[in-house]
Amino acid sequence: MTVERSPEAARLLALSADYMLEHGIGGVSLSRLAKDIGSNNRMLLYYFGSKDELFTAAILEAYRRFPGLHGLMTALQEVGGGLEERVGYGWRTIRAAENRPYIALVFESFALAVRDPESNSTQLAAVGSEWPRGLTRLFATHGYDPERAQLAAVQLLALWRGLQFLLLEGSGVSELDNAHDRAIAAMFGTGDRGRASAD
C-alpha cells in the first residue's frame, strides 16, 4: 500500500531511506537522523508522527527500491516450473548481491525493534508481513490445503531467513544454494502437496 505524501514529506522520506541504506539504523536517534538529512525533529514528527512511523516508512521506501525483492511474491506466481523451481528462483533472487543492502537493513532494524517492541510496534507489524501471505498463496496454488499451505510458508520463510543470516555472516553463495536446494527437496520434494491424508 502506497501512502500519498506531500512533496516535502516524500523528499524527507527518500533522504531517510538513503541514510538508512548507507549507514544502518543502529544507535540512530531521531535528532541524529534529522540533522544528517538536513531537517529537524519537529519537521519529521510533523510529517510522520513518531520515530517508529518514520523508520517504518523509510524501511518500506527502501524496500520499493529493490524490485527483485519487492516484486518477488508476484514473480513466484508468474515464473514457470514446478514448486521446487519457483522456490529456487525465489532464493536466488533474495541472495543476489544487489539485494544485500536491504537484507542487512531489515535484519538490523528487526533486531533493534524487538528490543523495544512497544516503541516499535508499527515497524514490527509492517516489515515482513507481505511474504508469509505470498508464500501461503504459492503453496495453495500447488495443491496444499489451507492449513498446510500456511505451515509450509512458515517453514520456507524460516529457511530463507536463516540462509540470509548466513549470507550476511559471509557464507559462500554456492554453499548456501546447495544447502537451500537440499532442504527444499527434503521438505517439499516428496510428492506430498499437503492435502489432508486419509489416515
Q: What is the pLDDT of residue 130?
A: 84
Nearest to 193 by CA among 110, 105, 85, 82: 82
pLDDT, mean of residues 169-180: 97
Q: At CB < 8 A and 24+ separation, what contacts does 135-142 make?
A: 135/73, 135/76, 137/73, 137/77, 138/73, 138/76, 138/77, 138/83, 138/86, 138/87, 139/83, 139/194, 141/77, 142/82, 142/83, 142/193
pLDDT at 112: 82
**Measured between alpha carbons, how far apart are the two ends of the chain, in Å?**
43
Contact residues for 13 (Cβ-Cβ < 8 A; gap 6+): 5, 48, 54, 57, 58, 61
Q: Determine the pLDDT at residue 3.
A: 65
pLDDT band at 110 (very low <50, low <70, confident <90, very high): confident
CB 166: neighbour CB atoms within 10 A? 14
pLDDT band at 71 (very low <50, low <70, confident <90, very high): very high
- pTM given for the model: 0.85
- Residue bearing the bigger pLDDT, 124 or 9: 9
CA distance 109 to 58: 11
pLDDT tens digits, one per residue of 20-53? 999 998 888 999 999 999 999 999 999 999 998 9
Q: Give the per-residue pLDDT at 2.
A: 56
Q: What's the confidence (pLDDT) of residue 126?
A: 75
- In order of 5, 24, 55, 183, the CA distances from 110 in angstroms are 25, 12, 11, 25
Average pLDDT over residues 1-14: 84
Span 64-72, average pLDDT = 95
